[in-house]
Amino acid sequence: MKIDSFELYVAKLELKKPFITSLGVINYSDHIFLKVFSEDGEFGWGECSPAYFINGETVETCLAISKKLTDSIIGISCFSHELIQQKLDNIIYGNHSIKSAIDVACYDLASKSKKIPLYKYLGGELKKKIYTDYTVSLNDIDKMVKQARSIVERGFKIIKVKLGDDGKKDIERIRLIRECVGSNIKIRIDANQGWTIEEAIKTLKKINKYEIQYCEAPINREFSYRLNEVKEASPIKIMADESLFTLNDAKMMVHGNHCNMFNLKIGKQGGIYESTKIIEIAEKNNIPMQVGGFIESRIIFTVNCHLGHTSNFIKYFDCDSPLFHKINPIIGGVEYKNDWELILPTANGIGVDIKKDFLKSCSKII
């Protein structure tokens, strides 16, 4: 089934409250919703929400190259994912956000055309239960403790705590949050590259007694070649995030013994195709993985759940971002149960569509 045409829509989604990390404050998320059509009239949806402070992309940069990218794969079979990736990469280096939207839409179209859910198209099975965490934004200590308490009261059993602006404060944050939520709640931390190497090692040693599952991105990605120093000194497991974009990054992480875990994000990896290649590397080297994202809608986090059912090594799910938005423009997609278990739709493909009224409010590009 050949790719025939595309539509792009641009939107902003306001958050219920500011989302704060060591990289900055976010009040709303920018989105590109991309629709691919086959010559037979079938369609697939993709999405990206570029995070300029992580991948150096904005909606404007995505749109600047989008038509060249989409034009390059017109007439190609939607099942030819490797060729699609090659065509996109031949147009321009990097630009993973917009490429990921195109890639995801093609996978949605392909799995719909086969009349099977995406996880089956990827060779997966529904063999496990998956649960999401919920994130505590970086803030004053008392506000973070209050938010952690509120999250636990909503029934979450796993919280992720944003740190990274000051190691000493971070130790106190974790001490008080653990004291507040008790010993039965799992705590993960994410420094978003905020610590120096020495600060990371010292902080991780100090908070180890508070039973931390793992730490994401402890140091700036510019020092990824020294991430192994943190890993070797830390009693807490280290998860590579901003140090891990491409398949070659994954190979370097393994070769240099830089981390214990991988964090996969569709918009960071450039789509499903590249993510599956990184999953293969992780499986060969016994590296557990998490699937997460930027602040995308339910489209991408539904894709995450499909991926989660393709590998036993995908053990952790950071899929709370759609809960941050004031509105949900997506029809279908992953369902959040009362105990925050994530349930996939039974429909073919990803199992999503976008509300027509919402699309009317968006800026249509092509």
- For residue 22, the model assigns a pLDDT of 81
Q: If you ran DSSP here, which 8-state letter would residue 41 be given?
A: S
Q: Strands 186-190, 352-354: parallel, antiparallel or unpaired by DSSP?
A: unpaired
- For residue 53, the model assigns a pLDDT of 86
Q: Which of 9, 55, 7 is nearest to 246 (CA)?
A: 55
Count Cβ atoms below 10 Å from residue 70 Cβ, excluding itself. Answer: 23
Residues 208 and 273 in one domain: yes
Share of the chain above pLDDT 90, in %: 95
Model pLDDT for residues 90-126, shown as the tens digit of each residue: 999 999 999 999 999 999 999 999 999 999 999 999 9
Compute the average pLDDT of residues 148-165. Answer: 97
Name the CA radius of gyration of the chain, rounded. Answer: 20
Find where tokens 């934004």 sit.
137
Residues 232 and 197 in one domain: yes
Residues 97 and 158 in one domain: no
Type of residue numbered 41: G
Residues 174 and 252 in one domain: yes
Q: Which of 31, 28, 33 is nearest to 14 (CA)?
A: 28
**Structural domain range at position 245:** 120-354
Residues 20 and 156 in one domain: no
- For residue 333, the model assigns a pLDDT of 98
Q: If you ran DSSP here, which 8-state letter would residue 88 be given?
A: H
User: How long, in residues, is the chain?
Assistant: 366
- For residue 24, the model assigns a pLDDT of 84
CA-to-CA separations, 296 to 46, 51, 133, 148, 328, in angstroms, rounded: 11, 10, 16, 22, 11
Compute the average pLDDT of residues 350-360. Answer: 97
Residues 129 and 90 in one domain: no
Tell me the whole-structure pTM to 2 decimals.
0.96
Give CA–CA dist 75/78, Å, rounded.
9
Model pLDDT for residues 272-300, shown as the tens digit of each residue: 999 999 999 999 999 999 999 999 999 99
Residues 294 and 191 in one domain: yes
Structure tokens at 52: 């300029």
Residues 230 and 313 in one domain: yes
Structure tokens at 174: 């974790």
Domain count, the chain: 2
Residues 61 and 186 in one domain: no
Q: Strand locations in the chain, DSSP E?
A: 3-21, 24-38, 43-48, 134-136, 158-162, 186-190, 212-216, 238-240, 261-265, 289-292, 314-317, 330-332, 335-336, 342-343, 352-354, 363-364
Model pLDDT for residues 171-186, shown as the tens digit of each residue: 999 999 999 999 999 9
Residues 157 and 237 in one domain: yes
**In the Cβ-directed half-sphere of 47, how many Cα atoms lie within 13 Å?**
28
CATH code for position 285: 3.20.20.120
Model pLDDT for residues 194-225, shown as the tens digit of each residue: 999 999 999 999 999 999 999 999 999 999 99
Of 115, 134, 166, the residue that ends a domain is 115
Of 84, 115, 146, the residue that ends a domain is 115
Residues 93 and 145 in one domain: no
Residues 59 and 183 in one domain: no
